[in-house]
Amino acid sequence: MVRIGDWITMPKYNADGDVSQITLTTVKVQNFDKTISTIPTYALISDSFQNWRGMQESGGRRIKRAIWLKQSSFRYIEDNEIEKFKKIQLISDYIDERQEVINEFNTEIGADRSLRVNGRNLTNIGLYRKYAENYLRSHPEINKNMTIMVRQLAPTEFGLPIEIYCFTDTVVWKDYESIMGDIFDHLISAVRYFDLKVFENLSDSGPEQ
């Protein structure tokens, strides 16, 4: 269950670090803040803890974090906007392919296109989700042999969460945090190019952005 060198997390004993010693009665963990936690050996059988060995051996560490978007900013894409969005290189081919499928479907059902709600349409949130997925797939520090997914979670009063789910190509903590930070710096900054807005719970003292 536990080996010397394993990274384990056990909040009950304030343990979050590498196992440095195992005896019949105690297990010592050197935490990442350089403190030492001592855990009764029996506690590793009777209580729950998290062992990160599997993640370290896999060669990739999971990113699972959401960007919360304002649902009031979601809308259909107008025909005269298609070329503008095609300038975003990571989704240019996708737009061509998707628009062809949409046009064929709308023609088949005889959709009245004077109203956008009739038939099928591209949406700004749909294009953003595809952009985020393609961005991850093209990122040099994302593990392409593990799951890459951008999905919607259930909407709440805080907006619609768009979850980024993927794995870095390293398990080194510092590198992992740097890669994840760069990804979200980019994806949050890219929101405005899709006419979307990130949800922020602003105080009454300042104007809404």
pLDDT in tens, 159-175: 999 999 999 998 888 99
User: Which of 17-21, 108-112, 184-188 is predicted with the least confidence, judged by mean pLDDT?
Assistant: 17-21
- What structural domains and CATH numbers belong to the chain? 7-51 (2.30.30), 62-194 (no CATH)
pLDDT at position 209? 45
Nearest-angstrom CA–CA distance, 190 and 187 = 5
| Residue % of the chain over a pLDDT of 90 | 65
Q: Say which residue the tokens 């025909």 belong to.
A: 79
Cβ atoms < 10 Å from Cβ of 77? 20
Average pLDDT over the chain, rounded to whole? 90
| pLDDT given for residue 208 in this prediction | 47
Selected residue with higher pLDDT from 2 and 149: 149
Given a cut of 60, is residue 207 above it in pLDDT? Answer: no
Q: What integer pLDDT is reported at residue 57 of this predicted model?
A: 61
pLDDT tens, position by position, 183-202? 999 999 999 999 999 998 76
53: left (phi over 0), alpha (psi -120 to 50) or beta: alpha
> Given this model, what pLDDT does residue 62 score?
86
Greatest extent of the chain over all pairs of C-alpha atoms, in Å: 77
pLDDT, tens digit, 9 for 90 and up, residues 26-56: 999 988 888 899 999 988 888 888 887 776 6
